[in-house]
Chains A and B, each alone.
Chain A
Amino acid sequence: MKFRLVLTLLLVRSAAAVAGAADIPALWAERVKAVVAVEFYVETETDRHPALSYGTVIDRNGTIILPSAAVDPRVSADQLKDFKIHRAGESSSVPGEYLGQDNLTGWHFVRADASLRGELTPITDFAVKSGTTSPVPALAEEVWGIGLRGKDEDFMPYILVSRIGLIQSLPQRSAIALHEVAAPGLPVFNNEGVFLGLATSSFGQSYLQFSRPERGAVPVVLVNVEESSVFPLADEVLPYLNRIPKNVDGRPLAWLGAYGLEPIDPDVAQFMKLETQGALVISEVLEGSPAEKAGLKDHDIIVALDGRPLPRLKPASVVVSYVDRELAKRQPGDTLAVTVVRGTQSERQEVKVLLGDEPKLIREAGRKYFDRLGLTVREFVYGDAVSLRVKTSEATGVIAHFVKPNSPVAIAGLHTDDWIKEIDGVEVGNFDMAVARLAAIEADRDRAEFVILASRGGQTAVLRIKLK
């Protein structure tokens, strides 16, 4: 009897606790207006692939941010077509415009057509006033966020509730909830409805896979792509909402030219007496880069930037993101002081690097598709010289960016990513020369064949392409 009484009391108390907090359904109804589903197409030479991402509204101009994973980094901005913005739970959509990607946050920015703007509420309406610090959820605090169903269910919003398990620097201060708390790219709130952070891509989770006939279990990692349990905190989001790209390529981009930054694991750090801080090995200092001009060398170990030791972050690989972000915060023309340990010398030296402009990226390179020949050639960019390990002075030719299956060039043996060095026995030179030559071949209906010298994996081959 006594037992039952206690139980009743407990029930009453917990009901009171909920009633004492804000009214979640009411908060929900307002905050759902800050999320949208964004549909678009990625257009390739022969196909159009539909893509879908979820985004959060950041201002009254209908600007929306999508997580970085929304777009494949190899895809160029002009391949992204037909953006459509859906409000949560709405089958109808309005057109959107792609504004580009911000290098620091990785966010893609999209702007919704003016007709929808009145229906949307920016996430900033639910954040603390600018200038004040956003609340950091406490360990075990209950938090909630928004998920969206698929297109066939009109992107119906639903609530996800979880508790905070851990707060970690990744390198942004991020909360990791006990289970999924929002769709990637969508906001998380506390029970007062205050914006706490924006969910990123989820972590993989290990499961054991059993099958009926075999009793042993194999661990498999599963990733929930529709919902995430990780969200960088509001103070890692709100200050960056103004980083709307000035152009679709997201330039200017600061460039250091230190390739393959690899973290030092705790054992090595201890051996090198660097256990209290982070450190990164530079695998290669790139030719002609600001790093090379400033005198950085291959295998230098970076220990500080602008006099500040690299933080000791866990896992150690997060230090790489930390340095990438430090670079992304800077502009070409800025000076960055890089402190390194070199070889056996335990002495540190500071190298002042005048950051340059990032060379043209693959996604910005010129491309041209030749339907009859069956390939897209792409301008040879700095990144190609790096990945093929050739000197930029030797970097002539073009890259076979796409090879159409069963086309004349495919039958002759050309593969995607082959490096085309000669056409008809003549060196290709630059992109424009390659395009002019291939255009002439494509236009010449009497042409029976042509010959390409292509390089793959450090070996070349003469390919004869039969046109009739």
Chain B
Amino acid sequence: MPARGAMSRGFTQLLDAVVRIDVREVTFEDGGKRFEASIGSGVILSADGLVLTNAHVASRRAVEINITLPKPDNKNLTPGETVGAKLVGWDHWTDLALLRIDLDEVKRRGLKFAHAELGDSDKLFPGETVYAVGTPYGLTRTVTRGIISNTNRYFEDDTGVDGYETGSFNTWLQTDAAINPGNSGGPLVTEDGKVVGINSRAYLGADNLGFAIPVSTARRIVAALVQDGAVTRSYIGLVPGVLRDLESFYSLAVDTGMLINSVEAGSPAARTGLRAGDILLAINDQKVDGRFPEQLPSIQNLIASQPVGATLKLTVKRGGDTRDYPVVTEKLESRVGEQWAFEKWGLSVRKVSRTDAREGQLSDDTGVLVIGVQSGFPADVAGLTRGDVITKINQQPITTLEVIKNAYDDYDAKPAPTLLEAQRFRRVSLYILKP
């Protein structure tokens, strides 16, 4: 029996596996490279130093990651030593990132750390007591307590993780354990200290509406990140809708099929002839049920987890007809293209993505989107502003970021007036960057 008031042995061990993470990352928003520091939380998963945190804590833009380890067997929760870490990989769709502690440094300095055990998030029930451990507002190793408020919360956000999409392929655990900025990446645990979720977001200004990625999702992502450093997903271009209350209109049995709300132009689904208003009944003979919004992420995930380039058989009902459509999957791309800064021009850009092209009514994904200009620098003087899409440089179409990088290198070596063609709300203008 534990002593009066003491937590379980497992819980005490968990506390020794929760870390503070200090990240310095590069940002490109102001027309040049800038650095931004932030604090988050994480949980050590293994003896070889893997740390799980949120993608919005540590992303590919991180240039320096430091982890503050707990002091072993430290009942007062005072912080311990700080060691370096590297990003193994990140996945904004599930808001997860995996780090590896610098084991050489740990060994050299004779440090020790514990690691957490993962629980089973599928067995959680509403009302079950859970604890959040993390670094809210920099307050290292804060424990808060609450219950599971909902085991299956649907929450999708097109720009939710630093401007990237999130929530399309998983649902979330909702808890009333206090989650504040800085808790991000810390574990949500049951009373035995087993990790059931990774705390990631909360409604600011609301009372204790916090959300965590279930560990069932995290296990899959961790495995992929360890293996490939990234999660590769498939894309076919369907935008799902819920079928609730529409069954009679589509002459469907209840709990059957998923509504196709939209088919992205030029996507594999569009090419095979799928249309908005079609009902997807099965994928490779596996029946789908998208009656409620909470059911959509698992269907989306079923598509996403097919190999890229695989041919899927989609069984689709349109009016009275039901037939199979073959769809060849493509690799899923993020909405945020690669970012870069051209410091002498005072210009930062990101590659136009397929999503940018669709939303900006561009004819294709040629060009770079201006994400920042620095006042008084050539790009600003020429009249470029945030949101412009630069499509040509010295009459050459910017099909890849390399095209404009090369032009910048030429300018850097030998500054000369450089002609840009750019669009703003489909209106084309010419600009000169002058040395």
Report which A residues bind B (CB closer than 8 A): 259-260, 262, 264-265, 267-268, 271-272, 281-284, 298-299, 343-344, 389, 421-422, 424-425, 449, 451, 453, 457-462, 464
Q: Can you name the residue of chain A whose Cβ is closest to the Cβ of B433? A: A267
Q: Which residue of the partner chain, among A389, A461, A464, contacts B249 with CB atoms under 8 Å? A: A464
CA distance A267 to B383 in the complex (A): 11
Contact with A along B213-246 (1 / 0, CB 8 A): 0000000000000000000000000010100011
B319 x A425 contact (CB < 8 A): yes
Most B-side CB within 10 Å, residue of A262, A268, A421, A425? A268
> CB-CB < 8 A to A262: which residues of B?
427-429
> CB-CB < 8 A to B423: which residues of A?
283
B245 x A260 contact (CB < 8 A): no
Instruction: Give B244-263 interface residues, CB cut-off 8 Å to A.
Output: 245-246, 249, 259, 261-263
CA distance A264 to B423 in the complex (A): 13
3 shortest interchain CB distances as A-B pairs = A460-B276, A260-B427, A283-B428
Distance from A256 Cβ to chain B, minimum over Cβ atoms (Å): 16
CA distance A368 to B319 in the complex (A): 29
> CB-CB < 8 A to A260: which residues of B?
426-428
Q: Which residue of the partner chain, among B261, B262, B421, B432, contacts A299 with CB atoms under 8 Å? A: B421
B262 x A461 contact (CB < 8 A): yes
> CB-CB < 8 A to B382: which residues of A?
267
B277 x A453 contact (CB < 8 A): yes
A422 x B277 contact (CB < 8 A): yes
Q: Which residue of the partner chain, among B246, B265, B395, B419, contacts A268 with CB atoms under 8 Å? A: B419
Distance from A279 Cβ to chain B, minimum over Cβ atoms (Å): 9
14 contacts between A and B (CB under 8 A): A260-B426, A262-B429, A271-B419, A271-B432, A281-B429, A281-B430, A283-B428, A284-B426, A299-B428, A343-B395, A458-B359, A459-B262, A461-B241, A461-B262
CA distance A453 to B419 in the complex (A): 44
> CB-CB < 8 A to A268: which residues of B?
419, 430-432
Asked whether any CB of chain A lies closer than 8 Å to the CB of B286, the reply is: no
Distance from A83 Cβ to chain B, minimum over Cβ atoms (Å): 36
B276 x A462 contact (CB < 8 A): yes
> CB-CB < 8 A to B359: which residues of A?
457-458
A460 x B261 contact (CB < 8 A): yes
Q: Can you name the residue of chain A whose Cβ is closest to the Cβ of B424? A: A262
Asked whether any CB of chain A lies closer than 8 Å to the CB of B287, the reply is: no
Distance from A264 Cβ to chain B, minimum over Cβ atoms (Å): 6
CA distance A406 to B159 in the complex (A): 29
Asked whether any CB of chain A lies closer than 8 Å to the CB of B361, the reply is: yes
Distance from A421 Cβ to chain B, minimum over Cβ atoms (Å): 8
Q: Which residue of the partner chain, among A271, A283, A343, A425, contacts B426 with CB atoms under 8 Å? A: A283
Distance from A97 Cβ to chain B, minimum over Cβ atoms (Å): 38
B246 x A462 contact (CB < 8 A): yes
> CB-CB < 8 A to B428: which residues of A?
260, 262, 281-284, 298-299
> CB-CB < 8 A to B426: which residues of A?
259-260, 283-284, 389
> CB-CB < 8 A to A453: which residues of B?
276-277
A464 x B245 contact (CB < 8 A): yes
Interface size class of B (residues with CB under 8 A): 20 to 34
A389 x B245 contact (CB < 8 A): no
Known A268-B419, A460-B261, A460-B276; 6 more pairs at CB < 8 Å: A265-B429, A265-B430, A268-B430, A459-B261, A461-B276, A462-B241
Asked whether any CB of chain A lies closer than 8 Å to the CB of B358, the reply is: yes
Distance from B220 Cβ to chain A, minimum over Cβ atoms (Å): 28
> CB-CB < 8 A to B259: which residues of A?
462
Asked whether any CB of chain A lies closer than 8 Å to the CB of B309, the reply is: no
Given A284-B426, A344-B395, A461-B262, also A267-B246 (CB < 8 A): no
> CB-CB < 8 A to B435: which residues of A?
none
Asked whether any CB of chain A lies closer than 8 Å to the CB of B434, the reply is: yes
Distance from B129 Cβ to chain A, minimum over Cβ atoms (Å): 39
> CB-CB < 8 A to B415: which residues of A?
none
Asked whether any CB of chain A lies closer than 8 Å to the CB of B417, the reply is: yes
Distance from B14 Cβ to chain A, minimum over Cβ atoms (Å): 43
Q: Can you name the residue of chain B whose Cβ is closest to the Cβ of A421? A: B276
> CB-CB < 8 A to A271: which residues of B?
417, 419, 432
> CB-CB < 8 A to A449: which residues of B?
249
> CB-CB < 8 A to B261: which residues of A?
459-462
Q: Can you name the residue of chain B whose Cβ is closest to the Cβ of A263? A: B429
> CB-CB < 8 A to A272: which residues of B?
430
CA distance A438 to B434 in the complex (A): 58
A389 x B430 contact (CB < 8 A): no
> CB-CB < 8 A to A344: which residues of B?
395
Given A267-B382, A281-B430, also A458-B249 (CB < 8 A): no
CA distance A267 to B381 in the complex (A): 10
CA distance A453 to B430 in the complex (A): 39
A389 x B241 contact (CB < 8 A): no
B427 x A283 contact (CB < 8 A): yes
> CB-CB < 8 A to B429: which residues of A?
262, 264-265, 281
CA distance A56 to B112 in the complex (A): 89
CA distance A461 to B262 in the complex (A): 6
Most B-side CB within 10 Å, residue of A265, A343, A453, A462? A462
Most A-side CB within 10 Å, residue of B241, B361, B423, B430? B430
B249 x A451 contact (CB < 8 A): yes
Distance from B414 Cβ to chain A, minimum over Cβ atoms (Å): 17
Q: Can you name the residue of chain B whose Cβ is closest to the Cβ of A426? A: B319
Given A284-B426, A344-B395, A464-B245, also A459-B432 (CB < 8 A): no
Distance from A277 Cβ to chain B, minimum over Cβ atoms (Å): 15
CA distance A389 to B357 in the complex (A): 12
Contact with A along B103-138 (1 / 0, CB 8 A): 000000000000000000000000000000000000
Q: Can you name the residue of chain A whose Cβ is closest to the Cβ of B241? A: A462
CA distance A422 to B263 in the complex (A): 15
A451 x B419 contact (CB < 8 A): no
CA distance A195 to B383 in the complex (A): 41
> CB-CB < 8 A to A425: which residues of B?
249, 277, 319
CA distance A114 to B2 in the complex (A): 102
Distance from B73 Cβ to chain A, minimum over Cβ atoms (Å): 54
CA distance A83 to B347 in the complex (A): 53
Distance from A321 Cβ to chain B, minimum over Cβ atoms (Å): 15
Distance from A268 Cβ to chain B, minimum over Cβ atoms (Å): 4
CA distance A458 to B360 in the complex (A): 9
B265 x A458 contact (CB < 8 A): yes
Instruction: Give B403-428 interface residues, CB cut-off 8 Å to A.
Output: 417, 419, 421, 423, 426-428
Instruction: Give B41-58 interface residues, CB cut-off 8 Å to A.
Output: none
CA distance A283 to B423 in the complex (A): 8
CA distance A344 to B430 in the complex (A): 13
> CB-CB < 8 A to A389: which residues of B?
361, 426
Q: Can you name the residue of chain A whose Cβ is closest to the Cβ of B263? A: A460
Distance from B9 Cβ to chain A, minimum over Cβ atoms (Å): 52
